[in-house]
Chain A
Amino acid sequence: MSEYKMDQPVGASPLDRGVQGIIGEPLNRVEGRRKVAGDVPYAADHKVEGKLAVGVAICSTIGFGRVKGFDTSKAEAMPGVLAAIVDDPRIPRETAGFSDEKLVTGNDRVDSYGQSLGVVVAETFEQARAAANAVKVEYDPGEGRFDAGAGRGGARPLGDEGMVPDTTVGDIDAAMASAPHTLDRTYETPSHAHAAMEPHAAIAVWEGDSLTVYTSIQITSGAKKKLVNTLGLGSDKARIVSPYIGGGFGGKGGLGTECVLAAIAAKRIGRPVKLVITRQQLFHLVYRRSDTVQRMRLACDADGRLTAFGQDSIVSQNDGRPFYEPVPLGSLALYAGANRSFTTKAYTLNIPHCGSVRAPGEAVGILGVECAMDEMAEQLGMDPVEFRKLNEPEKDLTRNRPFSERQLVQCMEEGARRFGWERRNAKPLQEREGEWWIGRGMAAAIRVNMLTNAQARLRIEPGGKVVVETDMTDIGTGSYTILSQIAGEILGMPIESVEVRLGDSLFPAAFGSGGSMGAASSGSAVALAAEDAVAELAARMGTSVKDLTLKDGHAIAGNRRVPVGDLVAQKTIETTGTIKPGAMAKQYDQAAYGAHFVEVAVSGVTGETRIRKVTSVFAAGRILNAKTARSQAIGGIIWGIGEALTEEAVTDPRYGNFANNDLAEYHVPVHADIPHLDVTFLPELDDKTNPLKIKGIGELGIAGIGAAVNNAIYNATGVRVYEFPITLDKVLAGLPAEAA
């Protein structure tokens, strides 16, 4: 078994030595033909043995208080109803985030609107839905804190409770008081929903006291642990199967309510149970991204060099939940400035709790930073790209450590060239096409890079087929494909000869998909397992690894060329690879970078913004598959456009519910909102990150793009909006009358 801890730069990577020529290539997804034929099973599609019953969750219709009692008699008497379950102490009050050991349970109280209180199970969905509506719940409502604006005044400092501990360097107040140029602005972002296309769902099957749950979960090993803890099972008595996931974005990171409810119901009725959370329920049953208030403080000397840089934030959370949106995560090392302040306060909202939504930290934090940088550049009379280049730091000035690889300046320069940045007018309200004002803006992108413990098993079976197993998941990111490419490249196998099996908690634990660290972690584990297999193949060829070449399913050494299938005809090769994070993560500041350039048209009549052109350039280590990497990038960019212009989960301060809890009212971008996107990755290898020399790319695209949109809107209209999303009413309010 090969184990590697990332304590020093990797030197030559196994991928550097491969000669198969498939790594980095824009290969189509290995599961793609099945996906476009509707042939892969998502959570609610699995066929199971036994007569499947259908569960529907009973959800709270108040936002805060106690439950006095239930009346299930009417529901139980309805046709087809098998059980109406409200008496199980394990009924969850939450869908778990990343950090809980088990779900918060017990339906005697209501922590937030829409939390689960029980489950009705019937022969059909129609019967279960009607019966769930017929369950009467008697409440004793309490005084919930539902109003974001009212609560922020009492926010408490988080100190070191959050993922990013409060950090100050120098004296930002003194620097602000003495600098010739200062900016002190506050930006706000609203609650944000994952809104994955696939609703959370689970099919629970018991065999004796052993439970199998077919579901959609990004991190199966973590979820399995929470499932056995929540249900009170032995650690070997549950299995989670999650081979295809219809989008996650962090929302399927932890154990879902649906898994526990389906398991409870299936045990109660002695039959397998399928439970799908409805779209309306999802907005309340799945955690949200916190609303944020970000006070940005920048000070510059007369030449435009930053002397102070601060981002002090307020976020919300429900009682008793340990996750806080790490607003300054990507901001800490982004720019220069000797005096720095990054602090976070939190206040309580009794609405659905907060958890990870794509790019926790940067997705909101870089909005404040990059809008403020644009405003400061204007104050200085400098070009926004030049102002950023002037303030490129030589190291991470917050934590006083060097960068691993950082090509932010190169991204900005290449982006500016591709976009035609020189066409931008420095002043707003200069370019008009009919009712439309044209503007251009830019912003930097950054996403921290991480590595975590992961394991993978690899077999070369008689005949030469390579099988890789790990509980890593594919949430649309391309895990099946890139892991096939990694194994194929190192073992000299065409991609068709590699079969990757994912998303089963019986496989070696590999963390899963989250935090843009899935490819690095599971991919490194696969590479290490493949390296061990190469060593065994060399031994069977009677040569050294150095003198062995593997290509097209053949082992070549000296003047011999032997099919790999022949080398394993007598005995299968089985290896395991394990990667562990190490000193590199502390010694170097590791991040992926990018730059976005956006052209917008804003109606002088309605204030509506149309995105006309986007150019984004990224530098994110080695790219494993040029096609799926680009898809992740454009997906992130479009998420950021949604964040900028339309996405806001609106709380009703009277009841603590989200008023727009469906896809007609919570506006994610649609086809017509998005033009062609120009995306480029710069060549990069980062030997401090992991044995693959890659960086995470799943969350990079979202960072900063919303600020580029806001800066372009200002450039078009002269209106700066400080409260996201930038809906047309906010733009219209600032437009001069002559702009119409």
Chain B
Amino acid sequence: MRLTVNGQSHDVEFDVRTSLLDLLRETIGLTGTKKGCDHGQCGACTILVNGRRINSCLTLAAMHEGDEITTIEGLGSPDGLSPMQEAFFEHDGYQCGFCTPGQIVSATAMLEEAGKGWPSHVSASLEGEMRLTPEEISERMSGNLCRCSAYPNINDAIAEVAGGKS
């Protein structure tokens, strides 16, 4: 099967039971994406599939023929961080760093969603321009757990990037 990961095409063979997460980590060797629970409960495995954020542990690799996958490694590198990665670095939006790739990928996609006007549970209105208040950011990021509990710093990091965008 062929799929594209971070712009690079991969031809891969795998057990049909393999999750997309395990394919990325064990077969392709991209270990930046983390397995925290394997049940879609923690968000550490968040990646982009065709631009949208998903929990890669909750989807089988076999369902992604031809898909464009972006992982944390595709957003930036230590020598060339993306704006979201740079903001997490500056605001100390992590401690142990294990959930961090998932937080950053999730936050990157979340800004796109808000930019398209998608409402959330805490949005006052279902329509119109979406303003990313701290409450909106927290609500939209609540699928990504952080046991070190860097939440306030993550919120600040995302707000800075969101502010720069608007």
B10 within 8 A of A: no
B26 neighbours in A (Cβ, 8 Å)? 124-125
* Contact in complex: A662, B15 (CB < 8 Å): no
A380 within 8 A of B: no
* Contact in complex: B97, A244 (CB < 8 Å): yes
- Kindly state the separation between the CA atoms of A476 and B89 in the bound complex, as whole angstroms: 13
Q: What are 20 A-to-B residue pairs whose CB atoms are below 8 Å?
A: A33-B78, A36-B81, A36-B89, A38-B100, A38-B101, A39-B73, A42-B98, A127-B15, A194-B147, A197-B145, A197-B146, A199-B37, A246-B97, A247-B96, A247-B148, A278-B38, A476-B94, A662-B39, A671-B142, A671-B155
Query: Which residues in window 76-122 of B have CB below 8 A to A?
Result: 76-79, 81, 85-86, 88-90, 92-101, 104, 122
* Contact in complex: A28, B89 (CB < 8 Å): yes
A45 neighbours in B (Cβ, 8 Å)? 31
- Other-chain residue from B34, B42, B98, B148 in contact with A663 (beta carbon distance below 8 A): B42
- Kindly state the separation between the CA atoms of A648 and B138 in the bound complex, as whole angstroms: 23
B135 neighbours in A (Cβ, 8 Å)? 672
B56 within 8 A of A: no
- Other-chain residue from B17, B38, B85, B98 in contact with A198 (beta carbon distance below 8 A): B98
Query: Which residues in window 456-471 of A have CB below 8 A to B?
Result: none
* Contact in complex: B155, A247 (CB < 8 Å): no
Binds B, one of A336-344, A436-444, A633-641: A633-641
Which chain A residue shows the least CB distance to B32?
A38
Interface string of A614-657 (1 = CB under 8 A from B): 00000000000001101110110111000000000000000000
A196 within 8 A of B: yes
Residue with the highest number of chain A CB atoms closer than 10 Å, among B79, B94, B137:
B94
* B contacts with A: majority SS: loop
Residue with the highest number of chain B CB atoms closer than 10 Å, among A630, A635, A664, A668:
A635
* Contact in complex: A662, B151 (CB < 8 Å): no
Which chain A residue shows the least CB distance to B93?
A36
List 19 additional contacts besides A197-B148, A198-B36, A663-B42; criterion CB under 8 Å: A29-B89, A32-B89, A33-B78, A33-B81, A35-B100, A37-B78, A37-B81, A125-B22, A125-B26, A196-B98, A244-B97, A279-B36, A627-B92, A638-B149, A668-B145, A669-B151, A670-B145, A671-B138, A671-B154
* Contact in complex: A631, B92 (CB < 8 Å): yes
* Contact in complex: B72, A476 (CB < 8 Å): no
B4 within 8 A of A: no
- Kindly state the separation between the CA atoms of A285 and B146 in the bound complex, as whole angstroms: 21
* Contact in complex: B76, A37 (CB < 8 Å): yes
Interface string of A17-44 (1 = CB under 8 A from B): 0000000000011011111111111101
- Other-chain residue from B44, B142, B150 in contact with A631 (beta carbon distance below 8 A): B150
- Kindly state the separation between the CA atoms of A41 and B31 in the bound complex, as whole angstroms: 8
CB distance from B162 to the nearest CB of A (A): 14
* Contact in complex: B39, A477 (CB < 8 Å): no
B101 neighbours in A (Cβ, 8 Å)? 38
- Other-chain residue from A279, A630, A634 in contact with B37 (beta carbon distance below 8 A): A279
- Other-chain residue from A44, A125, A249, A634 in contact with B150 (beta carbon distance below 8 A): A634
A195 within 8 A of B: yes
B72 neighbours in A (Cβ, 8 Å)? 37-38
A245 within 8 A of B: yes
* Contact in complex: B99, A197 (CB < 8 Å): yes
Question: How many A residues touch B, CB cutoff 8 Å?
Answer: 63
- Kindly state the separation between the CA atoms of A390 and B81 in the bound complex, as whole angstroms: 53
* Contact in complex: A674, B32 (CB < 8 Å): no
- The answer to whether A677 and B152 touch (CB under 8 A), given A36-B104, A37-B81, A38-B101, is yes
B41 neighbours in A (Cβ, 8 Å)? 279, 662-664
Residues of A within 8 A of B (CB): 28-29, 31-42, 44-45, 47, 124-127, 130, 194-199, 244-249, 276, 278-279, 475-478, 627-628, 630-632, 634-635, 637-639, 662-664, 668-672, 674-677
* Contact in complex: A246, B34 (CB < 8 Å): yes
| Nearest 10 interchain pairs by C-beta | A38-B32, A476-B96, A246-B98, A476-B95, A638-B149, A35-B97, A38-B72, A38-B101, A45-B31, A663-B41
B152 neighbours in A (Cβ, 8 Å)? 634, 674-677
- Kindly state the separation between the CA atoms of A39 and B29 in the bound complex, as whole angstroms: 12
Residue with the highest number of chain A CB atoms closer than 10 Å, among B101, B141, B147:
B147
Which chain B residue shows the least CB distance to A245?
B96
B32 neighbours in A (Cβ, 8 Å)? 37-39
- Kindly state the separation between the CA atoms of A663 and B72 in the bound complex, as whole angstroms: 23
* Contact in complex: B147, A35 (CB < 8 Å): no
* Contact in complex: A42, B34 (CB < 8 Å): yes
B134 within 8 A of A: yes
- Kindly state the separation between the CA atoms of A33 and B78 in the bound complex, as whole angstroms: 5
Query: Which residues in window 36-93 of B have CB below 8 A to A?
Result: 36-39, 41-42, 44, 71-73, 75-79, 81, 85-86, 88-90, 92-93
B123 within 8 A of A: no
B29 neighbours in A (Cβ, 8 Å)? 47
- Kindly state the separation between the CA atoms of A32 and B161 in the bound complex, as whole angstroms: 18
Which chain A residue shows the least CB distance to B16?
A126
CB distance from A335 to the nearest CB of B (A): 29
A199 neighbours in B (Cβ, 8 Å)? 35-37
CB distance from A130 to the nearest CB of B (A): 8
- Kindly state the separation between the CA atoms of A29 and B78 in the bound complex, as whole angstroms: 13
* Contact in complex: A247, B147 (CB < 8 Å): yes
- Kindly state the separation between the CA atoms of A41 and B25 in the bound complex, as whole angstroms: 12
CB distance from A613 to the nearest CB of B (A): 12
- The answer to whether A249 and B78 touch (CB under 8 A), given A38-B32, A627-B92, is no
B138 neighbours in A (Cβ, 8 Å)? 671-672, 674
CB distance from A516 to the nearest CB of B (A): 15
- Kindly state the separation between the CA atoms of A476 and B92 in the bound complex, as whole angstroms: 11
Which chain A residue shows the least CB distance to B144?
A671
- Kindly state the separation between the CA atoms of A199 and B98 in the bound complex, as whole angstroms: 10
A195 neighbours in B (Cβ, 8 Å)? 147
- Kindly state the separation between the CA atoms of A195 and B149 in the bound complex, as whole angstroms: 12
- The answer to whether A635 and B95 touch (CB under 8 A), given A664-B39, A676-B155, is yes
B137 neighbours in A (Cβ, 8 Å)? 671
CB distance from A275 to the nearest CB of B (A): 13
CB distance from B16 to the nearest CB of A (A): 9
- Kindly state the separation between the CA atoms of A33 and B85 in the bound complex, as whole angstroms: 8
- The answer to whether A126 and B15 touch (CB under 8 A), given A38-B73, A634-B152, is yes
- Kindly state the separation between the CA atoms of A642 and B67 in the bound complex, as whole angstroms: 39
A197 neighbours in B (Cβ, 8 Å)? 34, 36, 42, 44, 96, 98-99, 145-148
CB distance from B48 to the nearest CB of A (A): 13
- Other-chain residue from B37, B73, B98, B154 in contact with A37 (beta carbon distance below 8 A): B73
B33 neighbours in A (Cβ, 8 Å)? 38
Residue with the highest number of chain A CB atoms closer than 10 Å, among B15, B71, B77, B137:
B15
B92 neighbours in A (Cβ, 8 Å)? 28-29, 32, 627-628, 630-631
- Kindly state the separation between the CA atoms of A476 and B77 in the bound complex, as whole angstroms: 20
* Contact in complex: B15, A124 (CB < 8 Å): yes
